[in-house]
Amino acid sequence: MGTPSGWEGILDQGEVIIWQGRPDSTRIWYSVHYACLLLGLVISIFAIIWMALLAQEGDWDWIYGILVLCMAILTMFGLPFGKSYLWSKSWYLLTNKRALIATDLPFFGRRIKSHPITSQTPLELEERYETSVYFTTKTRRNSRGSYKVGVGYDRIDDAKKVFHLMREIQKKATY
């Protein structure tokens, strides 16, 4: 497989592309998404009523309600549509040496994250909800502490094939 358009100058000498793909960006609705929509709707209605009452009094404090309204809209649509949008702007590439994840997002621009595949790389095939292959983790924090999240190729159709290709890369890795 030759170097596809857009990947020129990124690959190292002797690096060969083994697989290229994109995540499925179809929205999946979970119960938490409906809760976000409901909460955001309630806050939006409150913000609109609050701004209307303050505007009737002739006070300019209603402008602060715009911030509340924007946060409510973000609550309504951020979680349900955010991941789907991120996946629609992502590309995956597997070479004989590393896994690359490219994104092209507004305000952030084009970014490529490179993850070397070595004999020590922890590979995980996820098939519960959608098929994904994870090859590293990152730590996230919340109010209850920290937890690990898998990083890799999310929601790909041929996850088993990619997982086996990565296992073959691990077997050939010298480091």
Question: How high is the pLDDT of residue 113?
Answer: 94
Question: How high is the pLDDT of residue 83?
Answer: 84
Q: How confident is the model at residue 4 (pLDDT cuts 50, 70, 90)?
A: low
Kindly report the average pLDDT of the chain as a whole number.
88
Cβ contact 40:72 at 8 Å: yes
pTM attached to this predicted model: 0.78
| Each residue's pLDDT tens digit, 110-158 | 999 999 999 888 999 988 777 899 999 899 998 889 998 889 999 998 9
Question: How high is the pLDDT of residue 6?
Answer: 64
* Closest to 68 measured CA to CA, from 93, 90, 46: 46
Question: How high is the pLDDT of residue 103?
Answer: 93
Q: Which one-letter DSSP state was computed for residue 61?
A: G
Residue 28 to residue 119: CA distance in whole angstroms: 34
Question: How high is the pLDDT of residue 131?
Answer: 87
| Amino acid of residue 56 | Q
| Each residue's pLDDT tens digit, 81-120 | 888 899 999 999 999 999 999 999 999 999 999 999 998 8
| Each residue's pLDDT tens digit, 54-85 | 888 887 888 889 999 999 999 898 878 888 89
Rg of the Cα trace of the chain?
22
